[in-house]
Structure 1
């Protein structure tokens, strides 16, 4: 099969399109003919890490058609459309993943949207509701709101009835966020995010902050209300995650770290992703796709995802 692989960590240019052996379908696995690959933030980070072996196929998320089923798998069948999550291997024509990490794609859900949904929407539900405990009377600040996680957070917070303050730059991206349900959008290049949040909340601060950036954590804490909650998920900004904890201690604030990798197979999380796929099928949620690249242009796709400030997910197709 063809795949986007790399031998040494580095920038997008390290990715090359190559022939590699087809994956085997283990007894607990399904083998998927990949039709859409979602480039996740973790893929960009992992590409800069030393591969476990060479050549290495990066990639967390993809969707396609089941073409083989492991001998112990009872709830998947050849021919079904599924979306899947695993720790590597999605940047390829074929992908073998544990059946427990796949979800059936409902009728009416585009395969690209299906590929991009589990990580972004599943993560956001866990951040907003399970950890964040967001209520309709509260205000939530969403950092990097034009990314996949941010766009999902706007929609879920909107459905809860909470007041959304979103952070993004660029007029087109800001208009997109407003259209999805963010009444307040702060351009971080033009205004001080902390001061603007305090102004919008009558100097109180946000009750909940969702931060997928990492490098903005100190600002997120400064924009957080006393006894508020900060959920940090990922490190899209790169660098170390250093913050001064004296302030949150004095203000009785709560910090939650979220890493979804080991959580997707938990029954409650798994059910949530299935429900969110149904919400997309019913038109209640939208998975925003910014641009689609062919898999053989994986280096260009990664470069675009990393530097172009896309609105939503970047997708590749084999």
Structure 2
């Protein structure tokens, strides 16, 4: 099969489009013929510095397509079914081997490209807001990196849950403007404005109740400083590629809290599995929008990764084998 592979960590240029052996099917797994690959921020981080679990390594969490083989112990899905899938690696390829538990049936007629982008992206945003952020109707929310896949999902989910005010950051006014139709109330251009000062100004100096922070690094301290009394930060990534250094003492006076969120730790649970399936079905009914910024052929994986890292995209970047 064809795949985007690399032999060493580095920038997008390490990705090569090559022929590699087809994957084998585990007794509890399936093989899918990949029709769409949704590139996650974690995919670019793994390419940059993550362990190479195979040689050559095929990176990637999310892909969707048609099941062409099922293991002898599999009963929940069948050959010919279209599914969205998640695994620790292996999405950047024409074929993919995944545990059957990591498959979610795609409703008939729903765009496979959009389905590919839902499990990690929307599942993570949902956990950040509700499971760990404990967001309630009427509360204020700040989404760091609002134009990212998780950011776009978080804005919509917060709006649907009745957030009183939704703020988000992005690197340009143009990107922020595109988020308003999804439920954004006020955008903050972090390249020009002081995020904490803007949050305080927009909330009458109260701060926000919940922050979804996929950036980390120095941004994380700003997220804490932007909190209201008893505010909560859900820290879910290191897109900023900086060390995580925060003053935990800054949380004490306002009884604030900081939670690390990693969907993968609970993706095998009934709670998360069922929630992801519900999110896919909600999107298929048009209740949530999966924003696809650009589509690349898998053969141009290096260009696709470079485009993501240029911070121009709004939503997800998708590749097609």
User: Aligning the two structures, in what range does the TM-score lie when normalised by the shorter sequence?
Assistant: over 0.9
SS at structure 2 position matched to 1:47: helix
Higher mean alpha-carbon deviation, 273-282 vs 95-104, is at 273-282
1:293-304 to structure 2, matched below 5 A, reads 293-304=296-307
Describe how 1:153-302 pairs up with structure 2 within 5 A. Answer: 153-162=154-163, 163-215=165-217, 216-302=219-305
Is the partner of 2:104 in helix, strand or coil?
strand
- 1:108 is displaced (CA, Å) by 3.4
Alpha-carbon offset, residue 109 of structure 1: 2.0
Q: Which runs of 5+ in 1 are unaligned?
A: none
User: Over residues 188-226 of structure 1, what are the superposed CA-to-partner deviations in whole Å (9 max), with x where a residue is unaligned?
Assistant: 122211111101111110011110000200111111112
| Number of residue pairs matched by the alignment | 318
The answer to whether the 8 A contact 1:228-1:254 is kept is yes
SS in 1 for 2:317: strand
Q: Is the 8 A contact 2:171 2:311 kept in 1?
A: no
Q: Tell me how far 1:313 sits from its aligned partner.
A: 0.6
Deviates more, 1:161-170 or 1:279-288: 161-170
For 1:42, the equivalent position in structure 2 comes to 42
Q: For the aligned residues, what is the CA RMSD? A: 1.0
Task: Give the gaps of 5 or more residues in structure 2.
Answer: none
User: 1:70 deviation in Å?
Assistant: 0.3
> TM-score of the superposition, structure 1-length normalised?
0.98
- Which ranges of 4 or more aligned residues in structure 1 deviate by more than 4 Å? none
Per the alignment, residue 137 of structure 2 pairs with 136
Deviations 1:52-81 (A, max 9, x none): 232111110000000000000011111000
Helix, strand or coil: the match of 1:134?
coil
Distance (Å, rounded) in 1 between the aligned partners of 2:156 and 2:70: 35
The aligned residue for residue 122 of structure 1 is: 123
